[in-house]
Amino acid sequence: MENSTFTELMTKLEQRTARVVVLGLGYVGLPLATVFCEAGFRVVGIDPVEEKVNEINSGRSYVLDIPDEQVDRLVKSGLLSATTDFSALKDADAVSICVPTPLRKTGDPDLSFIVSATESLAPYLHKGMVVVLESSTYPGTTRELVLTRLCEVGGLQVGKDFFLAFSPERVDPGRKDWTTYNTPKVVGGITSACTKISAAWYGQALKTVVPVTSTEVAEMAKLLENTFRMINIGLVNELAIMCDRLGIDVWEVIEAAATKPFGFMKFTPGPGLGGHCIPIDPLYLSWKLRSLNYNARFIELASEINTNMPRFALGKIQDALNDRGKPLKGSRVLVLGVAYKPDIDDLRESPALDVIGLLRKKGAQVSYHDPYIPAISHDDWTLQSVEDLMAQVKTADCVAVITNHSSYDYPAILETASLIVDTRNALGNMGRDHPKVVRL
Ligand SMILES: NC(=O)c1ccc[n+]([C@@H]2O[C@H](COP(=O)([O-])OP(=O)(O)OC[C@H]3O[C@@H](n4cnc5c(N)ncnc54)[C@H](O)[C@@H]3O)[C@@H](O)[C@H]2O)c1
C-alpha cells in the first residue's frame, strides 16, 4: 500500500512543503486556503471570477469571516496567491475542490461545477497528487463523477499514483466559536491510502481530523448533519403553525421544552430556510434515492413545510394589518434583515426574497433594510437597502423582522414602530403580549 509515491507525498505534507491549490475561492474555499497558509503551506487559489482573484492579490477579503489584514499579511508573505489560470495546477501536490453545488430550476442537483472543476484538473493530474472534494453532494459523487474523470488520465491508478478523498465542509459563516480551523473534519478516501494521505494533509492544518473508511461515508455524514437540521427546523416550523391554530405562544413552548437537560435539542421557527446548505443538501439525498426507487419521506415533508413558511409569514403580516383596519395592498411594509441568517452577508436562498416577492405580488409597498446587503436584484425586482432606518421604521405601516441581525436596536425599533411582525422572536420578552407586536 505504501509505495514510494505515497511516502514522498506524505513527507511533503508532514514537512508542509507540499504545494496546495484550492479550486473555488468562495465562502468555503477562501477560509480553507487561509487555514492551510497559517499552517505554513504555500497556497494558490484558482477561481474563474477575476474580481475575486484581484481582490485577494490586492490583499483584500470579500468573505466576512476573513479579515482584510489576514489576507494582506498572507499575500505579502508569499503564502497566498490567487489566479484564474488553471495551469497553476501543474505544480500542485495537494488540491482541494470547493466549488458550488446548487440546485437546478427543476430542483435537481447541479453538479456542473464539480464536473468542470474536475475536467480542468484532469490534464494536470500527476503522480503523487492528492485531491479532496469539499463540495456538499450526494453519496457516490466522488467515485462516480470525480474518480471516473481522473481515471481517464493516462494510466494513473487511484490509491497508488494519486489519492482521492471527500471531506465535507462544516463551516458555519458568522460563527466565532467553531471555525474552519477547530471544527472537526471528516475525511474519507477512495482507498485506505487515500484516507491516510488526505487525513495527514488536513491534520497539518486543522485541529481535529476524523478519518472514515470511504468517500461515501464522508458524503453521507454531511447529508445526515444537514438533513437532521432541515427536518428539525421543519418540525418546529410545523409546531409554530399548530400553536398558531391553538392560540399558544410557540416561543414560550420552546423555551419550556428546552429546560429539559437531556433528550431535547432546541430549534426555532422562522419565515423559511435559507443558505447554500440546509435547504439544498437534503434534496441531493432525496434526488439520489429517487433514482433507486426510494422516496425520502421525511425530507420531502420537511421541505414542503419549510418552503411554505414565507407564505405563513405573509399571512401574519396581512392579518396584523387587517386587524388594524389596513389592507396589505398599498401598505408600507419595511422588511428588517434579508440575509438568510443573522450577522452575515449571504442572501442565497434567503426566505426574505420569497417574503418580499409575495408582499409585492399583493400590492404592498415594500422596502427593506439590511446592514450587510446594500441592494437586491431578484426575479423581476430590484431594491436598495433604505438609508435612514429609523425614519422608515417610523413611517412604515408594518415592520417585518425577517432576519434578527444582532446590530439592530430592537427597543428603539419597538418604541418607534406602529406595528411589528416578529418572525424570529428578535424582540424576545419585550414583544410578548405587546400591543404593537405580532409574533410568528
Ligand atoms: N457556504 C457555506 O456556509 C457552506 C458550508 C458548508 C458546505 N458548503 C458547501 O461548499 C461548497 C462551496 O460553497 P461556497 O459557499 O464556498 O460557494 P461559493 O459560491 O461562495 O464559492 C464557490 C467558488 O467556486 C468558484 N468556481 C466555480 N466554478 C469553478 C471551477 N470550475 N473551478 C474553480 N472555481 C470555481 C466560484 O467562482 C466561487 O468563487 C458547496 O458545495 C456548499 O454546499 C458551503
Residue-by-residue DSSP string for 125-183: --TTEEEEE-S---TTHIIIIIIHHHHTSTT--BTTTEEEEE------TT-SSS-TTTS
Q: Tell me, in angstroms, the distance from the centre of ligand 1 to residue 47's CA.
A: 10
Angle at which helices 215-246 and 281-290 cross, to 10°: 110
Chain segment 263-294, per-residue pLDDT in tens: 999 999 999 999 989 999 999 999 999 999 99
> CB of 52 closer than 6 A to ligand 1?
yes
Total domains in the chain come to: 2
Residue 121 resides in a domain: yes
305's CB contacts (< 8 A; 6+ apart) are 234, 237, 238, 241
Residue 371 resides in a domain: yes
Predicted pLDDT at 154: 77
> CB of 187 closer than 6 A to ligand 1?
no
Q: What angle do CA 47, 13, 209 make, to 5 degrees?
A: 85
Residue 220 resides in a domain: no
Residue numbers annotated as active site = 277
Q: Tell me, in angstroms, the distance from the centre of ligand 1 to residue 26's CA.
A: 5
User: What's the grid cell of residue 309?
Assistant: 413558511
Check whether residue 238 and residue 312 sit in a common domain.
yes
User: What's the grid cell of residue 251?
Assistant: 416561543
Predicted pLDDT at 1: 58
The reported pTM is 0.93
Chain segment 12-59, per-residue pLDDT in tens: 999 999 999 999 999 999 999 999 999 999 999 999 999 999 999 999
Residues across the chain:
440
The CATH code of the domain that includes 387 is 3.40.50.720
Chain segment 352-366, per-residue pLDDT in tens: 999 999 999 999 999
> CB of 174 closer than 6 A to ligand 1?
no
Check whether residue 180 and residue 234 sit in a common domain.
no
Chain segment 208-266, per-residue pLDDT in tens: 999 999 999 999 999 999 999 999 999 999 999 999 999 999 999 999 999 999 999 99
- C-alpha distance from residue 124 to each of 17, 95, 127, 257 (Å): 19, 11, 10, 55
* Cα–Cα nearest to 194, from 162, 230, 235: 162
Predicted pLDDT at 352: 98
Phi, psi of 207, rounded to the nearest 5 degrees: -65, -45
Range of the domain at 118: 4-213
pLDDT at 137 over 70: yes
> CB of 114 closer than 6 A to ligand 1?
no
> CB of 26 closer than 6 A to ligand 1?
yes
277's CB contacts (< 8 A; 6+ apart) are 136, 226
Check whether residue 60 and residue 204 sit in a common domain.
yes
Residue that finishes a domain, picked among 187, 213, 239: 213
Residue 95 resides in a domain: yes
Q: DSSP letter for 339, please.
A: S
20: enclosing H helix or E strand: strand 19-23
Check whether residue 172 and residue 114 sit in a common domain.
yes
Q: Tell me, in angstroms, the distance from the centre of ligand 1 to residue 348's CA.
A: 12
Chain segment 397-440, per-residue pLDDT in tens: 999 999 999 999 999 999 999 999 999 999 999 999 999 999 98
* Ligand 1 atom with minimal separation from the 277 CA: 43
Sheet (strand 42-46) strand order: 80-83, 42-46, 19-23, 94-97, 129-133, 162-166, 185-189, 209-212
Residue 291 resides in a domain: yes
Predicted pLDDT at 129: 98
Predicted pLDDT at 106: 85
